Amino acid sequence: MKPIRTRFTLLILLLTLLLAACAPTAAAPAAIHVTDGLDRTVDLAGPAQKIVSIAPSNTEILFAIGAGEQVIGRDDLSDYPAEATGLPSIGGSLGDINLEEITHLQPDLVLAAEINTPEQVKALEDLGLVVYSLSNPTTLEELYANLEKVGQLTGREKEAADLSAALQARVAAVDQALEGVEDRPLVFYELDSTDPAKPWTAGAGTFIDQLIQRAGGENVTGGQTDPWFQLSQEQLILDNPEVILLGDAAYGVTYEQVAARPGWDAIQAVQTGQVFPFDDDLTSRPGPRLVDGLVQLAKLFHPDLTEGLE
């Protein structure tokens, strides 16, 4: 019996080896060759698995497409989603990034944005790191394209495509709800009132201006070609906006403070109480939450037309 058992064991071993040899091997990840926002060629052996994000908008994109588990470091300003705050920080709150800390993390990709200077990108590249600089989108349509680019870099193409489709559906719902709307409130968006007599605001070409318009409002400074500038309170009182949005509410600015400013009690928005705190991250960070900003603005301007929007 023993020789038979031995032959049987050998036969099983041979069959196992044969099946293993015939089994399809897992395909190696395809190399990635792309051009970034600085017109640089960026090469990856495969989807990045260890990513350092040095811009808050990039961090939000990475987590939104399901690549959060691939992020190993982030800049100081990356505070959304909450999980991101638990990652090692590499600085950046004042524009400076800690090159030594980034190198210590040994990322296979550093994801930069226009908030990062070309000099910073070069300094990282000189350290032998792979850096991709993502251009700021200027329209919501360009935002969708950015999601797809980050999806390609991280191997999350399907998740990025699904997110893009969901965001486009939400924007289409806003467009449909406001189709043909003519009663557009005149809106002033306050960015910084360190000098209340000359608050900073946004002009044409900014997402603040675009989102206000698309949400059925009229940006009181939309005719200004400068993207960021200070508006005199004398001009603002003359413009007499119907709605004031406090993008600087995060710094403690309140309706009561606005109402107490000399001459502002003559503004319609102050008289009617249409002065609202607004999360400036929803308009200043070129990531997926821009659509959240659009929906919130539409609900503020036209609550009767936007019930049920999410």
| CA–CA dist 159, 162 (Å, integer) | 5
Domain count within the chain = 2
Q: Which of 120, 140, 175 is the last residue of a domain?
A: 175
Q: Where are the beta strands (DSSP E) in the chain?
A: 32-35, 41-44, 51-53, 71-74, 109-113, 131-134, 186-190, 200-202, 218-219, 228-230, 243-246, 275-277
Q: One digit per residue, pLDDT tens: the chain, 310 residues?
A: 455 555 655 555 555 555 555 555 555 678 999 999 999 999 999 999 999 999 999 999 999 999 999 999 999 999 999 999 999 999 997 788 999 999 999 999 999 999 999 999 999 999 999 999 999 999 999 999 999 999 999 999 999 999 999 999 999 999 999 999 999 999 999 999 999 999 999 999 999 999 999 999 999 999 999 999 999 999 999 999 999 999 999 999 999 999 999 999 999 999 999 999 999 999 999 999 999 999 999 999 999 999 989 9
Is 191 in the same domain as 133? Answer: no
Residue 117 lies in a domain: yes
Predicted pLDDT at 1: 47
Is 147 in the same domain as 260? Answer: no
Residue 202 lies in a domain: yes
Predicted pLDDT at 93: 78
Is 122 in the same domain as 217? Answer: no
Is 170 in the same domain as 239? Answer: no
Question: Domain of 200?
Answer: 182-301
Is 38 in the same domain as 106? Answer: yes
DSSP code of residue 168: H
Is 141 in the same domain as 240? Answer: no
Is 87 in the same domain as 218? Answer: no
Residue 195 lies in a domain: yes
Q: CATH code at 162?
A: 3.40.50.1980
- 151: number of Cβ within 10 Å: 24
Residue 55 lies in a domain: yes
Is 199 in the same domain as 291? Answer: yes
Q: What is the residue whose two structure tokens read 């000098």?
A: 195
Predicted pLDDT at 183: 95
